[in-house]
Amino acid sequence: MPAMQRAAEVAARIYEGIPGSLLQKWRPAICPFDLLIAQVPPQSTVLDVGCGSGLFLGLLAAAGRIRSGLGFDSSAPAIARADCMRRRLPEPARLAFVHRDAAAAWPDGDFDVVCLIDVMHHVQPAQQRPLIETAIAKLRPGGTLVYKDMVRRPAWRAWMNRLHDLLLARQWIHYAPIDQVASWIRGAGLEIVHEPRCSMLWYGHEILVARATAPGAGRPPA
């Protein structure tokens, strides 16, 4: 069975009957979760920033791929759905979800993997660099940053996604140029090890996978 169909089936199962979760069931058809899951080393601890309704952590946990996952999001209804989904899993205690804005204090601890999936374009431009730098500072030495956002080019794909967010999130989004994000990541001392791009329907995706391999990478200067 193709990976996308498998993710859709898992999503349909773990969100079954949870009010307001229709988008979670369809999201695997427009977001390359199989590609993203492959970037998470097995048995990692994962922080998912802007986790929405918890779909990525739910897919990782349902596949038995992670030791633990913590997601936070500024949307209270999304976190309520994530918590409902979590309780459906065979090992619910592996996941936790917190209602929190990224501008507030972040959850304690550091993580093997920190993910920012389709969050950056929802953040005001002045907050985009601090967002990625704070995410990087939550990585353990040797940890992995998984960043994904929607393409700015070609313009028609960027516009299709802009319309999506105008309709669903009622928000005028702000694309961060991928080269700019890559330079922020490198500036924090990480090495970009993988940068795939792909399209699903009219949505274009760009991904950066980076490792904090250098000593002190990601830590603010003392």
Ligand X SMILES: C[S@@+](CC[C@H](N)C(=O)[O-])C[C@H]1O[C@@H](n2cnc3c(N)ncnc32)[C@H](O)[C@@H]1O
Which residues contribute to the site for ligand X (CB under 6 A)? 27, 50-52, 55-56, 73-75, 78, 101-103, 117-119, 122-123
Closer to ligand X at the Cβ: 74 or 213?
A: 74
- Taking the complex as a whole, the smallest distance from the CB of residue 213 to ligand X amounts, in Å, to 25
- Taking the complex as a whole, the smallest distance from the CB of residue 15 to ligand X amounts, in Å, to 12
- Taking the complex as a whole, the smallest distance from the CB of residue 24 to ligand X amounts, in Å, to 7
CA 216/CA 140 separation, integer angstroms: 10
Closer to ligand X at the Cβ: 119 or 176?
A: 119
Closer to ligand X at the Cβ: 110 or 165?
A: 165
Contact (Cβ atoms closer than 8 angstroms) between residue 103 and residue 112: no
- Taking the complex as a whole, the smallest distance from the CB of residue 89 to ligand X amounts, in Å, to 16
- Cα radius of gyration (the chain): 16
CA 140/CA 184 separation, integer angstroms: 18
Closer to ligand X at the Cβ: 28 or 218?
A: 28
Instruction: Give the closest residue to 58 by CA, choosing from 37, 76, 75, 31.
Output: 37
Contact (Cβ atoms closer than 8 angstroms) between residue 157 and residue 204: yes
CA 151/CA 160 separation, integer angstroms: 10
> Half-sphere exposure (CA, 13 Å, Cβ side) for 164?
17
- Taking the complex as a whole, the smallest distance from the CB of residue 8 to ligand X amounts, in Å, to 13
Closer to ligand X at the Cβ: 112 or 118?
A: 118
For residue 154, whether the previous peptide bond is cis, meaning omega lies within 30 degrees of 0, is: yes
Closer to ligand X at the Cβ: 6 or 122?
A: 122
- Taking the complex as a whole, the smallest distance from the CB of residue 73 to ligand X amounts, in Å, to 4
Closer to ligand X at the Cβ: 103 or 166?
A: 103
- Taking the complex as a whole, the smallest distance from the CB of residue 27 to ligand X amounts, in Å, to 6
**How many other β-carbons are positioned within 10 Å of the β-carbon of residue 80?**
16
The DSSP annotation for 101-139 comes to -TTSPPPSS-EEEEEEES-GGGS-HHHHHHHHHHHHHTE
